[in-house]
Structure 1
Amino acid sequence: MFFTKIILATLLLSAAIAFEQKCFFPELARDFDAYKLHGTTWYTGLQTNDAVAANIKCERAGNFTETSTGFQTDFRTFKKSNEHIDWVAHFTFLRSAVYQESKVKDVENVLLERDFAFISDYLNYCMGILCSAEGQWIVWIYFQTKTPSLTNIAAAYNELQRLGVSTQLYASQCEKAH
């Protein structure tokens, strides 16, 4: 019984330490190539439960275009209030696969005034990752359909694991967005 209590206490302490760890910005070996996404459309499929996601049903990204300073993409954000907003995001290159949004659009985007890591295998997933000021992961994973396949999801999860990104993800509501 004594050893069971020690083992249980050790497991609880390990879990508590793991949950208290702050996120770190992953070092990325390869750059993000927006040109490879040109002509494709991507929909959020999985994301963290962050302040921005709380008001959004789904987001569609398309028209990826390289610029002299990085890349830009067109977004249509479907809000939970059944409205949508069309906007263009401009991302400035900082270092390999790391960009910063050039212009803040509204109060919700104040959260996103941080560096973004963009990762894609250009077939299964495209994701944006950032580490919030509070040390929490913010992850948005986009897929080429509103209902991604198990193969698409597994490819994205495997990449997150390879990068050491550990967070709980939630399904978007893209299938309900019009």
Structure 2
Amino acid sequence: MSITKIFLAAILLSTAIAFEPKCFFPEPAGDFDAYKLRGTTWYTGLQTNDAAASDIKCERAGNFTETSNGFRTDLRTFKKSNKHIDWVAHFTFLRSGVYQESKVKDDFSMTDAYTVDENGKYNSAADSIVENVLLERDYAFISDHLNYWMAILCSEEGQWIVWVYFPTKTPNLTNIAAAYNELQRLGVSTQLHASQCDKAH
């Protein structure tokens, strides 16, 4: 069975849920060490089907750098239109495993990356998530620093926003299982969709 078939089977089995509970913010068990992600390029493999992700084929993260108050990382957001946008995300440490994105430094870049659709049209639903969730609410960053790292947020409406990054465009069963096991341990129960990183260039 090919890796793609295993990947799709894992998604279908894990997302076959009858009821999606209201989002609660998971408190990470340990700190998120961005330094341990250095030297690896990470790609989104699974994500919720939120408006900010609706026109994104894939997102690549790398060059994790510690700062005086948190960390920053270089991102390349691949649009479905085959364009990409390069930008830098800045995160401020709040408490163990919990960060907030810098509204001052990242507002324009994030808006550019997430709120314009493949036809160049403005997506107001995505803009609402950027302005009211991604730039305002706390992020839980969770990672085993080997198989996955993930960002988990709760929207104002109590919906999960989850993006799971893997160290390859085509994660293997070990990568996927490690991420799903951690999501289950945290009590995160939401539908996740496969990204299209294998088609991003």
Bigger CA drift: 46-55 or 96-105? 96-105
- Letter aligned with residue 90 of structure 2: H
2:174 corresponding residue in structure 1: 151
Which digits, 9 at most, give the CA deviation of each residue in 1:11-34, with x for residues without a partner? xxxx98x43x31110112201000
Q: Which structure 1 segments of 5+ residues have no match? A: 1-14
Question: Following the alignment from structure 2 to structure 1, what is the Cα–Cα distance between the partners of residues 54 and 200?
Answer: 15
CA RMSD of aligned residues (A): 1.4
Which digits, 9 at most, give the CA deviation of each residue in 1:2-60, with x for residues without a partner? xxxxxxxxxxxxx98x43x3111011220100011111110000000001110100000
SS in 2 for 1:154: helix
Question: Following the alignment from structure 2 to structure 1, what is the Cα–Cα distance between the partners of residues 64 and 39?
Answer: 7
2:95 corresponding residue in structure 1: 95
Which digits, 9 at most, give the CA deviation of each residue in 1:49-82, with x for residues without a partner? 0011101000000000110110000000000111
Give the structure, 1 or 2, with the largest relative contact order (CA under 8 Å, sep 6 or more).
2
Question: Following the alignment from structure 2 to structure 1, what is the Cα–Cα distance between the partners of residues 173 and 146?
Answer: 13
Question: Which among 134, 140, 143 is matched to residue 112 of structure 1?
Answer: 134
1:71 corresponding residue in structure 2: 71
SS in 1 for 2:177: helix
2:42 corresponding residue in structure 1: 42
Question: Following the alignment from structure 1 to structure 2, what is the Cα–Cα distance between the partners of residues 96 and 167?
Answer: 24
TM-score scaled by structure 2?
Answer: 0.77
Bigger CA drift: 92-101 or 110-119? 110-119
- Letter aligned with residue 199 of structure 2: K
Q: Percent identical across equivalent pairs?
A: 79
SS in 2 for 1:52: helix
* Runs of 4+ that moved beyond 6 A: none
Q: Which structure 2 segments of 5+ residues have no match? A: 1-16, 116-126
| Mapped contact 2:59–2:77 kept (Cα < 8 A) | yes
Q: Which structure has the greater CA radius of gyration? A: 1
| Mapped contact 2:28–2:141 kept (Cα < 8 A) | no
2:3 corresponding residue in structure 1: none
Which digits, 9 at most, give the CA deviation of each residue in 1:83-114, with x for residues without a partner? 10000000001111010000323154224121
2:183 corresponding residue in structure 1: 160
2:61 is the alignment partner of 1:61: yes
Bigger CA drift: 100-109 or 146-155? 100-109
2:196 corresponding residue in structure 1: 173
More strand by share: 1
1:128 corresponding residue in structure 2: 151
Question: Following the alignment from structure 2 to structure 1, what is the Cα–Cα distance between the partners of residues 26 and 156?
Answer: 15
1:22 corresponding residue in structure 2: 22
